[in-house]
């Protein structure tokens, strides 16, 4: 049997152990909260300095100018940096789609755009005419902007435009030009080197109502066409998503579970967005090693020559 002094010693040890455990738990909780606060603070700082390129609503409406005898033209769009930080190394290109083909332009370098600044962007070589002969012609333009912030984090903006004349043959003026005003359909912004894949979702049922069209547009889903096929109305929309399942789910969520539509189908549309991947750590290490090898080899060659 333990003496009173021994019991006192055991009790003291247990108290010290319990205190140590409590202190460790408190330290862990404090460290976790500190990390969470640091992450949130970093996100707030990045958000405060984030650039955001948007279609400048106060500028001239977007339009495409075609030359007589050509199905390609130039697109004009005013953009504004609506963010709080500069948009660095910005570039843009256009993905154009008609009922029978899709085309992507070459890159156009924009450069740097300070916060609050507006810039008139002009891109040539854009497909501007639907020659498919389809019963449901259309011309959809996806104008993609890529840029980075001061911390070298990449961002993108996508401006969706469409031709109210469905890309049909134009009437040219005496100078052989046709200047067509484009509709602003939606704008998407995000973080990363490139936007998501674009999908074309088709479904059968009743013709879309005005309210349904407005809800689709509000969710950056572009209505393309609707027509009768064998007595059944079919509708098509464009949107961005990670997968076919996500694309269909997004359309269904906007239209609602009780909407009279069925036969949903989603397929990748247009070529995938251009992806500019940053070099990995191993790639950077390999580059450093190659540079040092070249330097050492150059030193030995100079010594040998001397």
* Predicted confidence (pLDDT) per residue in 275-295, tens digit: 544 455 555 565 556 666 666
Q: Which two tokens stand for residue 122?
A: 């002009």
Give residue 128's Cα distance to chain centre.
Answer: 23
Q: How far apart are CA 254 and CA 177, in angstroms?
A: 40
Selection from 86, 90, 167, 180 nearest residue 133 by Cα: 167
Rounded-to-integer distance, Cα 16 and Cα 18, Å? 5
- 45 has pLDDT over 50: no
256, two tokens: 């609602």
| Interatomic CA distance for residues 242 and 239, integer angstroms | 10
- For each of the domains in the chain, give its residue range(s) and CATH number, in order of start: 50-193 (2.60.40), 196-272 (3.30.70)
User: Exposure of 69 by Cβ count < 10 A (0-12 exposed, 13-18 middle, 19+ buried)?
Assistant: exposed
Distance, CA of 157 to CA of 204 (rounded, Å): 31
Task: Name the residue among 208, 195, 192, 114 with its Cα closest to residue 159.
Answer: 195
- Please give the structure tokens belonging to residue 152: 């070298």
Q: Round to whole Å and give the CA distance between 71 and 118.
A: 29
pTM of structure: 0.69
Kindly report, residue by residue over 164-213, the tens digit of the pLDDT. Answer: 999 998 889 999 999 999 999 888 899 988 888 888 899 998 889 889 98
For 6-44, the pLDDT digits (tens) are 555 555 655 666 667 767 776 767 666 666 555 544 554
In total, the chain counts a number of residues equal to 306
Copy the structure tokens of residue 18.
């319990």
């Amino acid at each position: 049997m333990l003496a009173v002094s021994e019991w006192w010693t055991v009790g003291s040890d247990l108290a010290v152990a319990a205190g140590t455990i409590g202190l460790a738990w408190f330290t862990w909780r404090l460290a976790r909260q500190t990390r969470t606060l640091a992450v949130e603070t970093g996100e707030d700082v990045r958000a405060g300095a984030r650039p955001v390129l948007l279609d400048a609503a106060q500028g001239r409406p977007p339009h495409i100018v075609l030359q007589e005898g050509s199905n390609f033209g130039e697109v004009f769009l005013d953009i504004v940096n609506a963010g709080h930080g500069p948009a660095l190394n910005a570039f843009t290109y256009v993905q154009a789609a008609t009922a029978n083909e899709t085309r992507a332009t070459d890159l156009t370098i924009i450069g740097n755009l300070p916060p609050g600044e507006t810039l008139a962007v002009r891109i040539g070589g854009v497909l501007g005419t639907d020659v498919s002969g389809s019963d449901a012609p259309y011309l959809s333009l996806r104008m993609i902007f890529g840029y980075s912030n001061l911390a070298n984090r990449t961002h993108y903006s996508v401006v969706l435009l469409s031709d109210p004349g469905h890309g049909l043959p134009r009437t040219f003026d005496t100078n052989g030009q046709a200047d067509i005003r484009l509709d602003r359909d939606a704008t998407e912004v995000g973080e990363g080197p490139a936007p998501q894949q674009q999908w074309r979702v088709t479904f059968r049922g009743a013709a879309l109502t005005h309210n349904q069209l407005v809800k689709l547009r509000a969710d950056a889903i572009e209505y393309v066409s609707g027509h009768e096929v064998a007595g059944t109305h079919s509708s098509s929309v464009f949107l961005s998503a990670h997968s076919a399942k996500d694309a269909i789910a997004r359309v269904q969520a906007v239209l609602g579970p009780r909407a009279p539509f069925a036969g949903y189908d989603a397929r990748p549309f247009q070529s995938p967005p251009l992806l500019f991947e940053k070099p990995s750590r191993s790639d950077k290490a390999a580059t450093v090693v190659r540079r040092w090898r070249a330097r050492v080899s150059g030193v030995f060659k100079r010594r040998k020559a001397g």
